[in-house]
């Protein structure tokens, strides 16, 4: 009988104690739950596949450690081959969510799936989701997105302009400038606003005249606001027309434009005391 207590203690120590046992059991339950989600994504009906991806998106957002290669593989397969546009759009969204937490190999795998979908997808909603996701993958994204700035569908032009502004690749500056230079219909106002934002990041001083013209003459207040923000980044105190346009914008009835113009002038002055 005297040996029982030491043996019990020894068994508990060799098992890592009750806390470790509970932790291991929790990990096993998490693994099982993850496998069940991936199984339902691969072979469930449409409603089950949608539910699985919604849960996977939440898991990737809340638990970055859950991002493993089999998860990326399953999401990529759903994006490329699932028959449901809703599932494919959710798969693109899942790859967008996890972009910042992927290892090198995983990032290549995810971006390859997105680029493949970009070339084959025909559903507008899915294409938009893919383009927004590629904004988180700058290395392959910019060169493949530039042609979408001339797409006949305004929503894709807008999505591409947003993504290119996010990526901030100088190679896109000429294409973004062309979007802003063209002006156009009100349906392209978001695309022009994002082109202005992108030029503020990558356009350099060559963009000052174009941004000044957008600030003074574009019909969209959102475009004018982004042009003001951009001028605050690329203009200097020697750019008299830009400074004049910004000062005029501070007299606008749009409080957001006034704030953007005032901040831009302050930023320019801080760089050129």
Q: Could you write out the three-class secondary structure of 38-75?
A: HHHHHHCCHHHHHHHHHHHHHHHHHCHHHCCHHHHHHH
CB-based contact 177:208 (threshold 8 Å): no
**pLDDT one-digit tens code per residue, 69-127:** 899 999 999 999 999 999 999 999 999 998 888 877 888 899 999 999 999 999 999 99
Residue 268: what pLDDT?
95
- The pLDDT tens digits of the residues spanning 7-27 come to 444 334 344 555 555 444 444
Q: For 21-80, what is each residue's pLDDT tens digit?
A: 544 444 455 567 788 999 999 999 999 999 999 999 998 888 887 788 899 999 999 999
Task: Note the pLDDT of residue 253.
Answer: 96
What average pLDDT does this structure show over 180-184? 82
* pLDDT at position 29: 52
pTM (predicted TM-score) = 0.82
Pairwise CA distance, residues 245 & 4, whole Å: 88
The mean pLDDT value for 128-150 works out to 89
- Reading the block at residue 239, the tokens are 């750019």
Chain-centroid distance of CA 182 in Å reads: 26
- The closest alpha carbon to 180, from 151, 234, 219, belongs to 219
- Domains of the chain (ranges; CATH) run 28-136 (1.25.10.10), 170-273 (1.25.10.10)
With a CB cutoff of 8 Å and minimum separation 6, the contacts of 112 are 76
Write the CA distances from 55 to 12, 28, 59, 138, 172, integer angstroms. 36, 18, 6, 26, 35
Quote the pLDDT of residue 109.
92
Predicted confidence band of residue 216 (pLDDT cuts 50, 70, 90): very high
């Amino acid at each position: 009988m005297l040996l029982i207590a030491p043996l019990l203690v020894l068994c508990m120590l060799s098992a890592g104690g009750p806390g470790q046992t509970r932790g291991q059991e929790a990990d096993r339950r998490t693994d099982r739950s993850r496998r069940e989600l991936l199984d339902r994504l691969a072979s469930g009906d449409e409603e089950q596949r949608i539910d699985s991806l919604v849960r996977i998106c939440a898991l990737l957002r809340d638990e970055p450690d859950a991002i493993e290669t089999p998860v990326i593989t399953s999401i990529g397969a759903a994006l490329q081959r699932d028959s449901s546009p809703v599932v494919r759009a959710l798969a693109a969204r899942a790859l967008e969510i996890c972009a910042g937490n992927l290892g090198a190999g995983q990032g290549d795998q995810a971006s390859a799936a997105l680029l493949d979908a970009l070339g084959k997808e025909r559903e507008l909603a899915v294409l938009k989701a893919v383009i927004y996701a590629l904004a988180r993958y700058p290395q392959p994204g910019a060169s493949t997105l530039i042609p979408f700035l001339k797409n006949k569908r305004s929503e894709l032009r807008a999505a591409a302009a947003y993504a290119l502004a996010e990526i901030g690749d100088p190679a896109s500056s000429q294409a973004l400038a062309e979007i802003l230079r063209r002006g156009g219909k009100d349906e392209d106002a978001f695309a022009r606003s994002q082109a202005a934002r992108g030029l503020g990041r990558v356009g350099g001083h060559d963009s000052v005249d174009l941004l000044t013209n957008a600030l003074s003459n574009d019909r969209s207040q959102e475009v004018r606001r982004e042009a003001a923000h951009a001028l605050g980044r690329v203009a200097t105190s020697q750019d008299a027309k830009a400074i004049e346009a910004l000062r005029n914008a501070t007299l606008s009835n749009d409080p957001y434009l006034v704030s953007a113009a005032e901040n831009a002038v302050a930023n320019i002055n801080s760089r050129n005391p």
